[in-house]
Chains A and B, each alone.
Chain A
């Protein structure tokens, strides 16, 4: 078994799997169950300023989309920050941390955008012995209307300012949680770094309407005939999150800034992918809200087996794929592949044919007895057939050897060359 012990901005945990600040981390009861199940850490559900507790809707808080067999792919929510009294949360956090010394316990915070409010809340949580704070600049619904959450996260100057206040009034490690509801994720990350953040975590949820009730003509979830946009999460958002994590990991101004990866992590593989793109650990929410805390067993066994099979330590994985994330213009335009259909694996459904014939390059032939073959002279290697094939591994992209002639273009496969030097590029620099 590989050693999964994790240290993230100095916060130790037995594994890199934390629960994100969300309903599963709102109470001592839930968090204790999570730790019993084996989770390495939690970010406690966001605390607000002391005072009358937050009020949530009394109708449905969640909406969802499903894949085949009603597999939950995306969830959205309109729940606000914790609606329990501050002192109750503080007492519970302290008890949990004392009972679970080896686990990470970070407190998520969201208070109004003034220094006094932040100073006050930081003083209030000091006594809990929590390991760090996470600044919730991400929630896109409800609290944003009150000038908090993503309303802060969408303005880099505010992020920098608040982060600086937090670093000024607290010695705890500070993680800034970013909203994806923004054009360029690098800007808020840069602002967090300028403010002195120890790390960023991302992504928070994405503005969304999951469905419309076509009888009531209201967005889902529907509260007395009306709906509002909520925060979208779950497996469906993972590609968006991976890209944003990678952008921060490879950006010159944020390179090296620790990242806690969030967004649709459901299996060990998802976690490994986030970490390969630069995340030091991952935070999980929707997967446990769908399947329960026990999935961490699979995440632990899977990541451990993967690292053992690769002969890698956990630290070797973090950021391992970052050097291979590049801009389009640097991709090798002389790299040529052709689709290949494994006839033994093919179940003859014809989906590859429909996709290629109707919507792509007419590069798949179909015989009267339903044998599907690739026409190399027409195949541009777009990968669509691979993606629509229901049998994993049936269609593969086979690279052509250097020097071989591509039957489509008649050109020999040559050495690496990209768009920056391509003759069709009016901006091309002459090869030196």
Chain B
């Protein structure tokens, strides 16, 4: 521990070595069998259940909880996976407080929902520990499908296609598959290399070849894929990062939050990862929270999230915000960055009006040696022939489908990406077998 939280600048090893393991352990520990039984007992098995409607993948939540309470978590996992093959990671990263658990009748009635996310994790953990992939492939159809992007959308699409007997090749520009699951979410949400384990488990279906280090537009062109495959699925994600449009944005010490999170996720030794003493995160979404909390856990003395609009507009859920505050992160609202200097970020207060956000004369400066930009990701490197409207893919050439964050429809969530990837696979299957 050569440094401390008080050491100026962006430096590693601010904490005692042992602190890292504790700080980055499971933020929401798994339920044990008894806890799961008690939690499952609270489900009313509602008819046409609101939770099920709220789930973008439409998991039959009352059924899987009943399967847990009748002692068959493996059957529960099958219920989950038949709708959402990435049910394991979704159980960890889904903002359940704004999806299934928000509409749980017990949340509405008592302010305490059935713990659907944790129960889903229990079931999928128990079943994954059996290390037996529960699905098998239909006879080979002879069709070949290319999937671009090994993130949630691409993997869900690839699995469903493989299940239906098609041969799938998945391309990803990074060195590992998993997309945001592997690179883009806070480490304490998917401990123990879960994202990679889940991909390995998913690939046990067979019929899927994953080719990493291949970037669309650089190493392979969409036209090549259209020529060489019977269908193409684009699960590109959002690779661009919005600019602050503030003076000094290019100074050293200013970085994209997504890059910081990715670096942290891949770091073999967190004590070697440098972090500022005073960290400022600009943005109001999940990425901002993940970057801020992890900065704090790495030993930053002060971490502040600054969001330009009011709290009610923050994309990060209230649960996420509370988590940040409990970790010691300060959240400021209604302020926008004007300039980044060597020691600080200058902000102006904002006011929402009919003409949009107005910068007020009054403002403040926040001491900062590290600044993370987390004001949203954008679609980048869109191949020719693909139509983009309002920053999302809305139309694709013949033989090409798209889904996940890069495509229109639904929120930018892992679970939404899974649903879109799965549905695209069903559409591809229909198209390929209709002849």
Contacts and interface: CB of A to CB of B under 8 A. Distances in A.
Specify whether A and B are partners: yes
Contacts, number: 47
Contacts of A267: 66, 70
Contact of B66 (A295, A304, A392): A295
B47 interface: yes
Contacts of A291: 45
B63 A305 contact: no
B63 A294 contact: yes
Interface residues of A, number: 19
B71 interface: yes
A140 to B, nearest CB: 29
B79 interface: yes
Given A269-B71, A295-B45, A301 B37 contact: no
Contacts of B62: 294
A302 interface: yes
A391 B66 CA distance: 19
A261 B71 CA distance: 22
A132 B33 CA distance: 44
Interface in A155-211: none
Given A294-B63, A295-B66, A69 B75 contact: no
Interface of A, helix, strand, loop or mixed by DSSP: helix
A302 B62 CA distance: 15
Contact of A302 (B33, B37, B75): B75
B67 A301 contact: yes
B45 A302 contact: no
A298 B70 contact: yes
Given A345-B34, A391-B34, A392-B34, A301 B78 contact: yes
7 contacts: A267-B66, A268-B72, A292-B45, A298-B63, A302-B71, A345-B34, A393-B33
Contact of B47 (A292, A306, A391): A292
A301 B67 CA distance: 8
B74 interface: yes
Nearest to A347: B34
A392 B37 contact: yes
B422 to A, nearest CB: 20
A297 B42 CA distance: 19
A345 B32 CA distance: 10
B4 to A, nearest CB: 38
Interface in A264-285: 267-269
A298 B67 contact: yes
Contacts of B75: 298, 301-302, 304-305
Contact of A269 (B33, B60, B70): B70
- With most chain B CB atoms within 10 A of its CB, the pick from A69, A305, A345, A391 is A305
Interface string A51-81: 0000000000000000001000000000000
